[in-house]
Amino acid sequence: MIIFFGIRYTTGRLILTGQECPACKENHSLAVIPQQGYFHIFWIPVFPISRDYIPVCNSCGSTFIHKRPPIDREVKSQYKTPVWTFSGLIIIGIFLLYIFSMMLISKI
């Protein structure tokens, strides 16, 4: 049997930081795009594993992959981990509760 598993990423909405762009020096133009990584089995998300923030300038369109400006905690706290990235754990939990309840019912 083949089992498909791996890591995938989802992106969140653009979050404005109010910082200056290091490339064009435009004030209040820097924003971040949050990326949430999650582990999947058969393309069903099981649990989140990593989070990254990619800075993007709204004025010049530059993205900063290697040299990233610091990002405030306030900005990072605006992005919450999507609940659906826990779907696999929720499904496994419901399945285990079902099995446990069937074992208890069969003993009665």
Instruction: Identify whether the C-beta of residue 69 lies closer than 8 Å to the C-beta of residue 57.
Output: no
Q: Which residues pair with 33 in a beta bridge?
A: 54
Q: Which residue is listed with tokens 């779907």?
A: 87
**pLDDT tens, position by position, 33-62:** 999 999 999 999 999 999 999 999 988 888
- Please give the model's pTM, rounded to 2 decimal places: 0.76
Residue 49: closest CA among 88, 15, 17: 88
Quote the CA–CA distance of 91 and 108 in Å, as a whole number. Answer: 26
Mean pLDDT of 13-39: 89
Task: Tell me the per-residue pLDDT of 53-101, one tens digit each, with 9 for 90 and over.
Answer: 999 998 888 888 777 777 878 888 889 999 999 999 999 999 999 999 9
